[in-house]
Structure 1
Amino acid sequence: MTARDARLHAFRSDLADARLKGEVAADRFVAGRPARIAAFIADVRKAPRPDAGVNTQALFGDDVLVFEDAEGWAWIQAEGDGYVGYVADTALGGRDHAPTHIVSVPRTFLYPGPDLRFPVSGQLSMGSAVTVTNAAETRGTHYALLSSGEALISGHLRSIAEAAPDYVTVAETFLGTPYLWGGTSGFGIDCSGLVQLAMRMAGRQVLRDTDMQATTIGEPLDPGPELVGLRRGDLVFWKGHVAIMTDAKTMIHANGHTMLVSREGLKEAVARIGYLYGGPTGFRRP
């Protein structure tokens, strides 16, 4: 049988996605049950335990398939990027309403009604999908109302059908955001999460992890030892790391050095990172 990446295909020895029947070995095959992430952010873990490592995160409104729900944990696959893992079953909800809008700023607050003076009832990251049912205005501030009666600042949303024209500009809005291993949101993000979310907002769904992105996004480049010919939007890969070029000489990346999303000169980064981890392993142009 063909080898499959368990990060992108739901299979275990005892249970597997019915779509993989004949391709993987398992005691039982099931069809995924459609669900939607109802938590503001859901940690997607390696195992169904609260102390298991976080591989990635799912955002509010993300559609998923559920293959197992047991002892407080759901084994899911995200429909967007195909990532497989475990989330708390309390993070799941139904698909009662089709999302109409998406959060288009790094982070925003959810209010119990259309008034910014109300106590905050939640917070959403860029990329979160919501269903707007009405609008309201209070003291000149415009709000989008959800079916729950909660409200968001309408200027923090855009139609789910719209796409940002430049993914690098989206990435630049995250400058100063804390670095978080496995993070994919405006509250904490890692290097490949920054690439994925910025591209998602520009209408392009890409895979989650650095090794996946290094072989699937765009076309390879060879800037040579002098690192010439790079331009805005090109990607630079190291083993386990990725950065986005903002111009021919400067990049932006979520990194463990500053523990922030920050700008850095490419040559300076190559010298700094190379001391411990070696030089770039590849360059790609989306």
Structure 2
Amino acid sequence: MTMFDRRLHAYRPDLAEADLEGKVEASRFVQGTPARVAVPVIGLRPQPELARGIDTELLLGEQVTVFDRADGWCWVKAASDGYVGYLPADALSQIDPVPTHIVTVPRTFLYPEPELRKPHLTTLSMGSRVHVASEAEVRGNHYVVLADGTTIFARHVRPIGALDGADYVEIAGRLLETPYLWGGRSGLGIDCSGLVQLAMLMTGRQAPRDADMQAAGLGEAIDRSEIRRGDLVFWKGHVAIFEDPQTILHANGHSMTVARENFEAAVARIGSLYQQPTGYRRPFK
């Protein structure tokens, strides 16, 4: 049997996704059932244990396929990037209603009603998806109203289909000083490949989740001499975005933030501890 990447293919000895039937060994194969993330952000783990570190995160409104439910956990595959893992069952809800809008600012607040003076209920990240039922205006402030009556400041969301063609580097720049979080993929905390993926997501483009996946197949390989805005540089286990040929944006464990850094300075700093860059890629022609 062929060995598949368990980050992207759901299979265990007792159960596997139906698309892998005949390709992997498992006692049972299932199609799975759709669900949506019902909490602001939730970690996806390699095992159903809160003590395990997260591989990635899913955001409010994102769709998953659920293959198994047991002991308060769900084994799922994310629709956006195909990542497989475990999350608490109470983090999921039914598939409907279908989200209509997406949060475009790094962070925004969810209010109990259209009134900014009210205590906010929670914080939503860039990339969160919501279903807008109506709109409201109070003292000149415009809000979108969700089905349960909660509200978001209207300028912080856009219709999902209205994002294509935006500059993903500019979007990554909005996340400057966001705290670094291993496995993070939100405006509350993010890692290097999560920054690339989330920024591209906001332009309607798909990107693999992890740095090794991005280095292997995101766009095309290029030479250092060809670098321009939007290109990527990879180290072993790390990725950064070129803001211009001399400057990178990256979520990193040195500053523990999303930071802007001179590229040659970063090469010298990282090289003294780890290795030199392993390659460069242009994600879009």
TM range (shorter): over 0.9
Partner amino acid, structure 2, of 1:251: I
Q: Aligned equivalents of 1:241 and 1:169: distance in 2? A: 20
**Deviation of the 1:49 alpha carbon:** 0.7
**Deviation of the 1:2 alpha carbon:** 2.1
- 1:239 aligns with 236
**1:57-136 pair list within 5 angstroms:** 57-136=57-136
**Deviation of the 1:229 alpha carbon:** 2.9
- TM-score between both structures, scaled by the size of structure 2: 0.98
- 2:9 aligns with 9
**1:11-50 pair list within 5 angstroms:** 11-50=11-50
**Deviation of the 1:46 alpha carbon:** 1.1
Offset from partner CA, 1:229-273 (integer Å, 9 cap, x none): 311000000000000000010000000000000011111000000
- TM-score between both structures, scaled by the size of structure 1: 0.97
Q: Aligned equivalents of 1:272 and 1:222: distance in 2? A: 21
Do residues 185 (structure 1) and 186 (structure 2) align?
yes
Runs of 4 or more above 6 Å deviation: none
**1:117-266 pair list within 5 angstroms:** 117-163=117-163, 165-223=166-224, 228-266=225-263
- 1:54 aligns with 54
Q: Aligned equivalents of 1:146 and 1:69: distance in 2? A: 28
Q: Aligned equivalents of 1:36 and 1:76: distance in 2? A: 11
Q: Aligned equivalents of 2:150 and 2:118: distance in 1? A: 11
Offset from partner CA, 1:105-140 (integer Å, 9 cap, x none): 011000010001111111110001100000001111
Q: Aligned equivalents of 1:69 and 1:35: distance in 2? A: 12
Q: Aligned equivalents of 2:229 and 2:43: distance in 1? A: 31
RMSD, aligned CA: 0.7
SS of the residue corresponding to residue 35 of structure 1 reads strand
Q: Aligned equivalents of 2:166 and 2:137: distance in 1? A: 29
| Number of matched pairs | 282
Q: Structure 1: where are the runs of 5+ without partners? A: none
Q: Aligned equivalents of 2:29 and 2:145: distance in 1? A: 41
Q: Aligned equivalents of 2:227 and 2:174: distance in 1? A: 22
Larger deviation: 256-265 or 228-237?
A: 228-237
